[in-house]
Amino acid sequence: MTKKKNGFLTFCFSLFPGAGEMYMGFMKMGVSLMAVFLAIIGLMEWLEIPALAFLAVLVWFYSFFHVHNLRGLDDEEFYAVEDRYLFSALTEENSGQKLTQTYRKVIAIVFIIIGVVCLWQGCYNILRIFDLPGIVYVIGNRLIPQFVVGIAIIALGIFLIRGKKQELSDEADREEEK
């Protein structure tokens, strides 16, 4: 790993998620954090869901304090830190499966809530429009993507919940057979 960097520049770079990690030589961590932060901002703007700003703020705080935590490590601990992607647990063979099994219901509920918010925002925008050119523009460029994404997210959440119920019933059947 690279040597520790200047404290002031580390602070300056830590103000943008991922940049501080990249400045300190942790490129995979930095790119992961930056991608997540920018994806949340992009989704928030595209789907017009201001509540996603909460997630963006969480990513910002995580990145900011993560950089300063790395900066505060002594040399031996700093050099021992492995540069891994933020979601490397999902790419490993068994840990990603364990993670999704553990938090499957929570992830499903979050997907359903986000999908309902997308659909609600789309319905609200339809009720707000009264002029024909505005209706054509908003339906073509905003509402169809909102409805499609909202329905897809709700479907994914329902799929995750049903999959968990199916796994539980399969486990119960195996227990009874034994």
Structure-token pair, residue 176: 């009874």
Domain ranges of the chain: 7-86, 95-177
| pLDDT of 81 | 86
C-alpha 166, offset from chain centre:
26
H/E stretch holding 37 reads helix 27-47
Q: Mean per-residue pLDDT for 13-22? A: 91
Average pLDDT estimate for 93-106:
63
Digit-coded pLDDT (tens) for 117-167: 777 777 767 666 665 556 555 666 666 777 777 788 888 888 877 776 666
Select from 63, 76, 3 the least CA-distant residue to 31. Answer: 63
Task: Report the C-alpha gap between 164 and 178 in whole angstroms.
Answer: 21
- The pLDDT of residue 149 is 77
What pLDDT sits at residue 60? 93
What does pTM read for this prediction? 0.59
CA–CA separation, 99 and 148 (whole Å): 27
Q: Pick the range with the lowest mean pLDDT from 56-65, 90-99, 153-162.
A: 90-99
Measured distance CA(45)–CA(52) in Å, rounded: 9
Alpha-carbon gap, residue 86 to 36, rounded angstroms: 9
In this prediction, residue 1 has a pLDDT band, given cuts at 50, 70 and 90, of: very low
User: Which one of 16-25, 84-93, 122-131 scores highest in mean pLDDT?
Assistant: 16-25
Mean confidence (pLDDT) of the chain: 77
Residue 135 · residue 144 · CB < 8 Å:
no
